[in-house]
Structures are given as structure tokens and as C-alpha cells.
């Protein structure tokens, strides 16, 4: 953070910069992006639509262990590099359902990763990405609680990758090539779970709104902090504040700390307060969170349409953490008013199952309705 222009303009009285990203900053003022703003595209059909609903092609060769109830699954016993196209389709469905899937000890290299990820769609290109196929991810060892004094972009904040795009990314895959022994974990929060955790009144409120996702704050900070020029001009995009996942059909909150600056339909003060709540809601979501400790060769694949993530800032030495990320374009976010939340679906399926069991003469404990000696649930009360 010390390379930020704002560090050169500290008030001796307050200890804070006199201005944040003013026009005096030549790094921002003098930059002209080389590429135009993107137009909307229709990406190829999501590979998860081609999966076996039971994911049998993948799960016959790999062991899946859920790390928390609502998000995150560890997949072991396989090398991604050896998976067939059918198994990759099953993997996409697993990611869409569980939010993020982890693997350790992978033998992929960058070329292999790029080739593998092309299976999932058209490779995205981050505004600051010079190599069109992948982006290098480092980490953060600055004090994120203090960074806001120098830059309005919460660079260590919870985000879905480049959610400001007209076609924000669907899947991302990060593979770690160098990593400190401790520190630099990444955490993910389920946006399915965040929606479920709202009261019905707040669910309705968010469903009626569009969130403004902007690249403007990141644009300035990239120029100032990262020392590279963004390829495209900054944009502000209005996306539904609650979106429907095109594969699972589930509702997910579509607001994040990193790129959302407000709500299009609200007055400024209403918008600020609601955004403040939404950011708190994400930070308070330890029941919807999974935290991953990296090793060299570890991989995480996640779905940006139903999760947000952030690297947990640490004190490790700069340059000791390096990962390669590949990302593919997703659909333009939409809200299907007839879609259901994850909780609603679970309840509906449970009810349907109970109805079926009743018709088949099985009670809710999974036993025969005559309650004979096999009714173990009556004994095991705890
Ligand atoms: Fe990210």
C-alpha cells in the first residue's frame, strides 16, 4: 500500500491523506485504456447442464467430503489433469451446488490449467490482465482495516470476481504455485446461504433492487497501487441484487463488498445504509463460510454466481504467495421470480419425500408404520 500516491500527501495534523484519488495523481489522470468497453455476450451453455444429476462419473473415481453444511467440498483421490470431459461436467455441477470445491497435490501446470478450464467456457480476461489466458494472484499483507484511509477500493474485501462485468465470471479456478507455510488462507461465503439468512421482509426488499457493481474504484487503485494500466475504461453495471443460478435454479444474494457501491432504486442515504448492512451480513456469516489453507499444488474451483471470497490478509513476506487463476464468462445475471431459495427447496423436497413415504407406508423415521421392534429412533433419543 505504501506505493499509493495518497501516501505522499499526508496531512501532518491528521496523519491521513489530504485527498484520496484526486486529479493531481498523474498515474490515473494520464492513463488511456487500450481496449473498448465490452458488449454483452451469450456464453456457451453451462457445462453443469451436461452433468449427471448424481455426478456418478466423477464420484465413482473421487471421494467428496463436505467441509461445512452449506459450502465447500474437498475432492480427493483424483488428478484434475486426468478427468474426462464427462467428469469435468459433473465437477461443474458439484461446484455450482457446493459453491467451492478443493483439491490438493495437483500436477497441473499453467498450460494444462488453461486447457482444462477452456472446457468450461470462454476464458475471461481481467481488466488488468496482460496475459489473455490467466491472471497471477498474490495476496495481501497490508492492514485492510486501515487501507480505506488511502484508497476507496476495499481490495481485500469480499467479492465475486469482476462482478461489475456485463457478463460476470461463472467459474474460477485458482492453483497455488508458491505459498508461505502459514497465512494467506482464502475464505468463501455462500450467497445461497446469505439469502436464506435474511428475514422474508429483507429478502423481498433485496429482490426488488438492482445492485450497482462498479470497476471504478478498482480502476483507480490498480493504476496507483499495482502499477499496471487497466485495459478497459471503468464501468458501472446494474445487476439484480438477488440472482437466480441458471443451473441450480436457486436464489443467491448478488451484493459484494469489493464492487457494489449502492442500489439503483434507492435514495443515497437509504442505499448507503443498506449496503452497510449487506457488507456486515457477509462479514457476520461464519455459519455460511469455509476457510481454506493452501499448499503448493492446491486448487480451488468456485462459482462466482453463488459465492463471495476474500484472501485473509496476513504478515507473510510479499512475493512468497503466487497462484494462477483462470476464469470463464457467465451469463448476464437475472432473477427468475419463480425460482426458490435453498431453504425453500430443502423444505419442499423434505415434504415431498414425506408424502411419498406416507403413500408407501413408511413413517418419517424411515421405518414401517407399524412401529415394530426395529424402531431404533425411539430408543436413541439424543
Ligand atoms: Fe477474487
- 98 torsion bin: left (phi>0), alpha (psi -120 to 50), beta (else): alpha
What pLDDT, on a 0 to 100 scale, did the predictor assign at position 370?
A: 43
Distance 85 CA to ligand 1 centre (A): 26
d(CA 2, CA 7): 6
Distance 160 CA to ligand 1 centre (A): 6
Distance 158 CA to ligand 1 centre (A): 8
Q: How many CB atoms lie within 10 A of CB 337?
A: 8
What is the tens place of the pLDDT at every residue in 273-302? 999 999 999 999 999 999 999 999 999 999
Collect the ranges in the chain with pLDDT lower than 50.
368-381
What pLDDT, on a 0 to 100 scale, did the predictor assign at position 228?
A: 79
Distance 174 CA to ligand 1 centre (A): 9
Per DSSP, the residues of 283-331 read HT-GGGEEEE---TT-EEEEETTTEEEEEPP--PPTTS-EEEEEEEE-P
Distance 190 CA to ligand 1 centre (A): 14
DSSP element (H, E) containing 240 = strand 236-240
What pLDDT, on a 0 to 100 scale, did the predictor assign at position 260?
A: 96
Distance 228 CA to ligand 1 centre (A): 18
Alpha carbon of 190 to those of 115, 291, 307: distances in Å? 28, 12, 5
d(CA 72, CA 70): 7
Alpha carbon of 251 to those of 18, 172, 195, 228: distances in Å? 43, 20, 7, 36
Helix (H, G, I), strand (E, B) or coil at 15: coil
**CB–CB of 258/40 below 8 Å?**
no
DSSP character for 367? S
Distance 310 CA to ligand 1 centre (A): 6
Distance 361 CA to ligand 1 centre (A): 50
What pLDDT, on a 0 to 100 scale, did the predictor assign at position 365?
A: 57
What cell was used for 334? 437475472
d(CA 288, CA 191): 8
Neighbours of ion ligand 1 (CB under 5 A): 161
Q: How many CB atoms lie within 10 A of CB 171?
A: 26
DSSP character for 382? -
What pLDDT, on a 0 to 100 scale, did the predictor assign at position 22?
A: 57
Per this entry, what is the length of the chain?
Answer: 382
Distance 165 CA to ligand 1 centre (A): 14
What pLDDT, on a 0 to 100 scale, did the predictor assign at position 57?
A: 98
The radius of gyration of the chain from alpha carbons, rounded to an integer in Å, stands at 23
Domains along the chain? 5-344 (3.60.130.10)
Distance 364 CA to ligand 1 centre (A): 43
CA-closest candidate to residue 309, choices 235, 258, 367: 258
**CB–CB of 184/314 below 8 Å?**
yes
Amino acid at each position: 500500500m505504501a506505493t499509493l500516491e495518497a501516501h505522499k500527501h499526508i496531512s501532518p495534523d491528521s496523519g491521513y491523506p489530504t485527498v484520496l484519488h484526486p486529479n493531481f495523481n498523474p498515474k490515473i489522470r494520464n492513463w488511456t485504456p487500450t481496449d473498448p468497453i465490452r458488449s454483452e455476450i451469450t456464453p456457451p451453455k453451462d457445462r453443469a447442464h451436461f452433468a449427471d444429476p448424481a455426478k456418478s462419473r466423477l464420484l465413482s473415481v473421487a471421494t467428496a467430503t463436505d467441509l461445512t453444511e452449506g459450502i465447500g467440498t474437498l475432492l480427493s483421490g483424483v488428478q484434475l489433469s486426468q478427468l474426462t470431459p464427462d467428469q469435468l461436467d459433473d465437477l461443474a455441477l458439484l461446484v455450482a451446488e457446493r459453491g467451492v470445491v478443493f483439491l490438493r497435490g495437483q500436477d497441473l501446470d499453467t498450460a494444462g490449467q488453461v486447457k482444462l478450464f477452456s472446457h468450461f467456457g470462454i476464458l475471461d480476461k481481467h481488466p488488468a490482465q496482460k496475459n489473455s489466458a490467466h491472471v497471477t494472484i498474490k495476496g495481501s499483507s497490508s492492514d485492510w482495516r486501515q487501507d480505506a484511509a488511502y484508497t476507496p477500493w476495499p481490495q481485500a474485501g469480499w467479492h465475486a470476481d469482476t462482478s461489475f462485468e456485463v457478463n460476470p465470471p461463472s467459474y474460477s479456478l485458482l492453483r497455488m504455485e508458491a505459498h508461505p507455510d502459514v497465512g494467506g488462507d482464502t475464505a468463501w461465503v455462500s450467497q445461497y446461504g446469505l439469502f436464506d439468512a435474511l428475514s422474508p421482509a429483507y429478502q423481498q426488499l433485496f429482490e426488488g433492487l438492482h445492485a450497482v457493481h462498479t470497476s471504478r474504484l478498482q480502476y483507480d487503485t490498480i493504476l496507483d497501487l499495482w502499477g499496471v494500466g487497466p485495459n478497459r475504461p471503468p464501468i458501472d453495471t446494474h445487476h439484480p441484487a438477488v440472482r437466480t443460478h441458471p443451473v441450480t435454479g436457486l436464489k443467491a444474494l448478488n451484493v459484494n463488498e469489493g464492487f457494489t457501491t449502492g442500489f439503483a432504486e434507492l435514495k443515497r442515504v437509504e442505499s448507503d445504509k443498506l449496503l452497510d448492512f449487506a457488507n456486515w451480513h457477509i462479514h457476520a456469516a461464519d455459519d455460511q463460510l469455509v476457510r481454506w489453507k493452501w499448499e503448493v499444488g492446491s486448487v480451488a474451483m468456485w462459482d462466482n454466481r453463488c459465492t463471495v471470497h476474500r484472501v485473509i490478509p496476513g504478515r507473510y513476506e510479499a512475493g512468497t504467495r503466487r497462484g494462477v487463476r483462470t476464469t470463464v464468462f457467465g451469463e448476464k445475471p437475472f432473477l427468475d421470480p419463480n425460482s426458490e431459495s435453498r431453504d425453500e427447496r430443502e423444505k419442499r423436497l423434505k415434504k415431498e419425500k414425506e408424502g411419498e413415504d406416507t403413500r408407501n407406508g413408511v413413517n418419517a423415521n424411515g421405518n414401517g408404520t407399524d412401529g415394530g421392534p426395529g424402531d431404533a429412533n425411539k430408543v436413541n433419543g439424543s
